[in-house]
Chains A and B, each alone.
Chain A
């Protein structure tokens, strides 16, 4: 991946195309989990920002973390633009069949949360970041991450035990 980034930074068109293809599935999951219906818009905006600013990335090995930060911030911004009214009561309307959430379960629970809570959940559960790392990505305090994380997990727990 580092050699590919270096070639793309030089303006090699084959490398730029390959990099877009390599990043899209990874960033598509982050963008859709936070922006939901705005996921495709968020993914496109994220990739345009990443590719057009690639030359500013000093250390090619840092690509994934840099791309993740851009994806989370763009997805939150676009989710707010697409935001719909949250209805917490809908959380309890579907029963979970086992201890593992299906895609439908996850989307339903995410849809009941505000975008910044979804962002915390994605960073902690999907990306496996610590609270301190998630705070750094989102540019908020550790205390804010702890409270958002607790609320987001609580929403899933309620869904699990419904």
Chain B
């Protein structure tokens, strides 16, 4: 009996499953997803147009500028509102259809977006957002960072669902001809 390796069935990891799995490994990151009543192409065209649309659903961003584009790999600079009193963040971005993963340099903060059509008729899209602080440290130092990561996760439990709801509202308003 011979069964070649490639004759066995294989399961594929979708964009949302991938984002859920990555977020599960980052203690300061909260993941949230919901179904948006718009086709995938509309949702992703909006979400991936970082320079023009991020401010409309993410109030913690004052401006976002793409500094470099090299295929799937981008570099962006984000400025926070003046009240936040923080320096601009530079983030490395991996951008593909239905997948956006942004990591600040140094690696202290991450934002991930993923989207997939809900079913074959394509009228709805499942959209996921993961966001929060990361503090990569050796095992012996992790007890010290755990409270900070817990606060980050707690804070993002509130604002990540809010941002996803805003993004969904912007996309559906745009489709219905209303101003964003």
Chain A positions within 8 Å of B, measured between CB atoms, are 7-14, 16-17, 19-21, 24-25, 28-29, 31-33, 35-36, 39-40, 42-44, 47-48, 51-52, 54-55, 99-103, 105-107, 110, 122, 125-126, 153, 156-157, 160
Contact = CB atoms under 8 A, between A and B. Distances in A.
A31 B12 CA distance: 10
A130 B151 CA distance: 47
B139 interface: yes
Interface stretch (B24-32, B57-65, B72-80, B157-165): B24-32
Contacts of A47: 13, 17, 21, 24
Interface stretch (B2-10, B43-51, B120-128): B2-10
B8 A48 contact: no
A29 B22 contact: no
Contacts of B21: 20, 44, 47-48, 51
Contact of A40 (B11, B22, B107, B142): B11
Contacts of A12: 107, 134, 136
A9 B26 CA distance: 10
B1 interface: yes
A103 B107 CA distance: 42
8 contacts: A19-B25, A20-B18, A40-B11, A48-B24, A54-B25, A102-B7, A103-B9, A122-B8
Contacts of B41: none
B103 interface: yes
Interface of B: 1-14, 17-18, 20-22, 24-27, 101, 103, 107, 110, 134-139, 142, 145, 149
A54 B2 CA distance: 35
Given A99-B2, A126-B3, A107 B22 contact: no
Contact of A20 (B4, B13, B110): B13
A155 to B, nearest CB: 10
B136 A10 contact: yes
A49 to B, nearest CB: 8
Given A14-B103, A47-B17, A153 B1 contact: yes
A86 B22 CA distance: 36
B172 to A, nearest CB: 27
Contact of B107 (A14, A21, A106, A160): A14
Nearest to B27: A11
Contact of B4 (A19, A39, A42, A100): A100
Contact of B9 (A44, A99, A110, A157): A110
A31 B8 CA distance: 10
